[in-house]
Structure formats: C-alpha cells, structure tokens
A and B are shown apart, each in its own frame.
Chain A
C-alpha cells in the first residue's frame, strides 16, 4: 500500500470513527426520546417569534439549558430545574447556546411573565435592568403620535419614551415576546419523571 492511500484512508477512517461516536451513536440513543406530556408544541405565532429570536442572534448571549445543581448555581438563581433531551424535541434549530452574557432563558416565560416588561426591556434594556449591556432593539418598535386600533403600546418609564409620542410594538416584537413567554419548562421530566409518563433519559 503506498503512502497516498495510507493518509487518504487513514484520514477518512479517523473522521468516520469520530462521526460514529459523536453523531451516529447519540442519534440511535436519542431516537427513543419522546416529548413529555407537559411539553406542548409551539403555536404558530410562537414559532414565528422563535424565528425572530434565531435571526437576531439572541443565541450569542443567552443560553437555553439549565445545568444540574452539582454543576452551577442555575437552580439557585431560579432558572428552573435541570434540562433534559426531551425538553428540546420541538426545537430546530437548537438554541442551547454557549454564552451567558445575559441570563439563561430556558424558563424566562415563567420567571418574567409580563408582556409589558419584555416590550420595555427590548426597547430599552437599561430602563428595566440598569447596567445591562444588551443592545436596544429599537427596530422592533415604531414611534407614533397616537396609537391606532389594535396597537400594543409600550409602557415606558418617564424619560425613556420620546416626549409626546407613543412607542408601539411591531409585529415582530409581538411574536418574539410570544415566544419568550412560551419558554416555560416547569413540567416534570428527566429520571425523576420516568415511570410517570415522562421522558426516557
């Protein structure tokens, strides 16, 4: 066998081995994961909001995975119970994230259920959380002289709103907040729920 073939086949073999171990075997193992009874599929407007979340790159500063108490203070911070594979069956693309410039959002809908808070926070994060480095999402809103029929007006603290005007949430802000409010993974799951109709991990 000449060296060309050794390198070529060796390279193919190593990468296929890694593929087998890190992709294919987990694929088989995760095939049996079923959605837990407490987890509902996203509604259309929540899915549209999820698309906004993905396209705006929220992922780069917010994770969606709660670690076990042995591995951090996530639970003690009130971010929810540890996450399990079955929590993600409706999530594509996955948004587990690798960064916590801002807090984890796996249960933001439970922790912060106020639609008004989310609008104000997206419009001007520092109005709700002093010191925040989150960019303002002004482009999700429009400023009007007067609210029209069906407009969702953003309730802003004094000094933040443009004087004499109202700030109105654009459709993309509305679906995005729908999605954030839907992020509630408080049903039983994981080994504790196994046998009671929960997932299989």
Chain B
C-alpha cells in the first residue's frame, strides 16, 4: 500500500452506515445472481439426492435409461449441492462481505457477474455430460476437464474482482473473515487446477484425487463458511469476537493441517504407509483449529443465547457453527486406524459428509442469506412462520439422516469385518436405516423447497411491507 492510502478503521457511525450501503450497492448485482443460482441448484441437487436415496428402496425403478442409474444421479446430486448450492452461495457471501469489511466498493462488479454466468454454464454443461456418460471418473472431479476450463476462467474473474477490492481497501486492520476469504480465493484455483491435470494414473491419481476431494471441503467450503460465521455472530450480537489471537491460531492451524488431511480417505489402501499416516496425524491435529474456533464463538455467545429467539440469522449460524465442532471432531476420530477399520467403505462416511456440508456449511449459509437478501432487495422476508418451518425441517432432517447413516455404517462395518457372516448381512442390516435416510432426506428437501419459495417471495417483494426484521415483532417469539 502506498503511503498516500487513507486508513480509517473506526469511522463515525453515519459515515460507516453510508459506506455499508454503498458497499452493498456495489456488490448487489453479482451477489444476487450468485444467490439466485445457488437456490436453484439447492432444489435441483436436493431432488437428485432424494432420488438417489430412494434407489435403495426401489432398485428396480427408473432402470430404463443410463442417465437415471444410481451412479449418475448420485454424481449430479453431489456436484449440484457442493459446487452449485454451497459453492455459489459461498462466493456470493464472499463478494458481499469483502466490500463491507475493507470499506471499498466492489472492484468491477461486471467481472463477478460474468463469473456467476460462467459458473452456471460450467455446471449445466458438466452435469449434462455426466448424465450422458462423459465423466472424468474421479470422486468430486467428475465434470470432464475440458469443461472445467470454464470454471477456471469464471473463478479467475471472480478472484480478480475480490482481490482487487481488497487491494483498494480503506482499512488497515483485516478482520478474520477477510483472511479466510482471501485464502480460499488462493487455495481453490491451485487445488482445482492441480487435480485436473490429466497426467496422473494408478494409485498416485488416487492420492491426488483425495488431496483435492478433502481440500474442496477444507480449503474452500470450510473457510468461506467460517468467514460467514465470524462475520455474523458478532454482527448480530453487536459485540466484537472474543479473542483476536484465538482466531489467528484457528486460521493458520486450519491452513496447515486441513491441507494435509486428504489421504485419510485411503486408509488401508495400497499407498505408501507414511503418506496415510501423515494424513491421519493432520486429521487429529484438526482438533486445534476446531477447538480454537469453537471456544471463540462460544465465549462470544455466552450470556446472549436468548438472542437466538429473535434472529433467524443468528439461529442458523450458531446451529451451523456448533455442528462444525461436532462434525470436525467426528472426522478426527474417523481417521484413527482402529475406528476407520470399521467405518471405512460404509454409510458412516456418507452421514459424516452430510453433517459437514448440510449441518455445518448449509445452515450457516441459510443464516447468511436471511441477513443479506433483505438488504439487497430492500424488502423483508414476508413470513416469520416459513423461516421457522425451514429451520426445524432442516434440523430434524439432518439429524435423522446423520444418526441413521452413522448407525447403519457402524453396523455395516462390523458385519463386513466378521468373515463368518455372509456379505449380504452387511447389506440387509442397513436397510431400515436407509429408509430412515429417505425420510430425513425428504424433510431436508421440503425445508429447502420452503426456503426457495420464500426466497422467491422476498426477491419479488411479495407480501406486506415490513419495517421490522423477521422474528423481531413483540410476541413473535420463535
């Protein structure tokens, strides 16, 4: 930064307010486009997810076409929710937060708008290719690499817009959310481009595959979702985050350990033992960033939990943050050889993955959208009740889903380990839990559909004009 730059970390309130409005205005178009797209992908992805789950109850349904076989429907589900819903809403969140946090308007919003269109084009072509049978055949990297070129360009445009905004900042201090956003913008292009190089084969490719696969969560979804939680918990409570130094510890330990986690997906596999041990160690070390973040959030919240009744944003974000702690500790335990021996190759992993992407990241994202969207469309969410339904359906759905699959996975793994039991025992034992999974999945789908409907209402500015935010009217105890 040149010496001429004006830093002003604590402007007078009226200046700060005007700047926030200007920041929101500058980012309005791209952020809304990312959010609109994300909500559509959420519904599409949820429908495919439920279809995939129902395939276990009705394996003879929809068997007339290759496009409708389990292996392809599941892939569309994963990519639509991970890159479409979570990816696009997280980017929208980042593009919205950064101008506010660095107190500078978004640099060239047109770049971010183009990025959103490119990202959608990538997914439409990529998922069309998967349904038609053209795939790279690697988990989390199914979209064919020539099509991936589109998202590299789109991601690049978005990163330019965000990084240049930060370069033109008017604050000297960097809030922790900015670190996470900056880092994710650096990490994702590197891991994504590396993993897509068509030069690997055999077990080496398996290592690259899972280095990427876990980092898509650890170095993209997680840091951006945490950036949202770090922004909104203090924001809604109106008090600063408890400890600056704890957030520093959390950030750098996450950067260092999470990036080394990936190979725990191959425990027991035909790879050099030191490689797997490295990832197990790093997975256990994840306790450090997770505990740092959890303690920081908790001590910020202490004594103020009643605010959860009056702020949908806070309720969703705090629930997601608590689940972050649970799912991360579960992940550390899962990486231990003794535990992994049972649950590897079972539904347990599927339960864990959903607890992470839905219970942690998506709940936080819902909370973020409940705050941001009214400020961009200048219209409050029309219905308190729909938000409550969304919250409880999401929470009940994910709870049923995860408890059912983790139980199923444990029993399935125990059955598989016992060679005196026929393999089919490990299938039969999961069946009732897979029905429960379809029930939990249905609740999540209904919750998501309610959210999408409500989102449509608010962006169309339907319902009565409200001067107070949702859940804040007297007697509106949620």
Contacts and interface: CB of A to CB of B under 8 A. Distances in A.
Contacts of B194: 19, 23
Interface string A115-150: 000000000111001111111111100000000000
Given A71-B337, A77-B423, 5 more contacts: A11-B182, A17-B259, A22-B211, A54-B137, A96-B266
Interface of A: 2-4, 7-8, 10-12, 14-19, 21-23, 26-27, 29-30, 33, 54-61, 63, 65, 67-68, 71-73, 76-77, 82-85, 87-103, 124-126, 129-139, 201
B256 A14 contact: yes
A65 B190 CA distance: 29
Given A26-B275, A96-B269, A100-B346, A14 B59 contact: no
Contacts of A8: 182, 186
A59 B202 contact: no
A92 B199 CA distance: 10
Interface string B178-190: 1100110011001
B428 A7 contact: no
Residue among A15, A27, A100 having the largest count of chain B Cβ atoms under 10 Å: A15
B278 interface: yes
Contact of B205 (A7, A16, A92): A92
B137 A15 contact: no
B270 interface: yes
A73 B418 contact: yes
A121 to B, nearest CB: 12
Contacts of A7: 174, 178-179, 182-183
Interface of B: 1, 55-56, 59-60, 63-66, 69-72, 74-75, 133-139, 166-167, 174, 178-179, 182-183, 186-187, 190-191, 194, 200-209, 211, 215, 219, 252, 255-256, 259-260, 262-263, 265-266, 268-272, 275, 278-279, 337, 341, 344-347, 349-350, 416-419, 423-424, 426-428, 431, 434
A137 B71 contact: no
Contacts of B179: 7
A23 B174 contact: no
A70 B186 CA distance: 41
Nearest to B78: A60
Contact of B75 (A12, A57, A101): A57
7 contacts: A4-B182, A11-B183, A16-B190, A22-B260, A77-B419, A131-B424, A137-B63
Closest 3 CB pairs between A and B?
A57-B71, A18-B259, A76-B419
Given A7-B182, A8-B182, A94 B270 contact: no
Contact of B190 (A12, A26, A67, A136): A12
Contacts of B174: 3-4, 7
A30 B279 CA distance: 18
Contacts of A138: 63-64
Contacts of A92: 200-202, 205
A95 B202 CA distance: 9
A59 B194 CA distance: 22
Nearest to A140: B66
Contact of A94 (B60, B133, B201, B344): B201
Nearest to A71: B268
By secondary structure, the B interface counts as: helix
B191 A15 contact: yes
A81 to B, nearest CB: 11
Contacts of A100: 345-346, 416, 426
Given A57-B71, A85-B202, A73 B138 contact: no
Contacts of B417: 72-73
B201 A136 contact: no
Contacts of B424: 129-132
B211 A23 contact: yes
A77 B418 CA distance: 9
A192 to B, nearest CB: 14
Contacts of A91: 201-202
A4 B207 contact: no
Contact of A68 (B56, B205, B268): B268
Contacts of A124: 60
A22 B345 contact: no
Contacts of B215: 15, 18
A200 to B, nearest CB: 12
Nearest to A103: B423
A32 B418 CA distance: 36
Contact of A135 (B55, B75, B341, B345): B55
B202 A89 contact: yes
A54 B135 contact: yes
A194 B205 CA distance: 23
A76 to B, nearest CB: 4
A29 B417 CA distance: 31
B1 A2 contact: yes
Contacts of B423: 77, 103
A96 B137 CA distance: 11
Contacts of B136: 93
A3 B7 CA distance: 14
Contact of A137 (B69, B167, B201): B69
B296 to A, nearest CB: 18
B441 to A, nearest CB: 16
B275 A22 contact: yes
A82 B70 CA distance: 29
A17 B211 CA distance: 12
A63 B75 CA distance: 16
Contacts of B201: 88-89, 91-94
A90 B344 CA distance: 25
B164 to A, nearest CB: 12
A125 B194 CA distance: 39
B63 A22 contact: no
A93 B71 contact: no
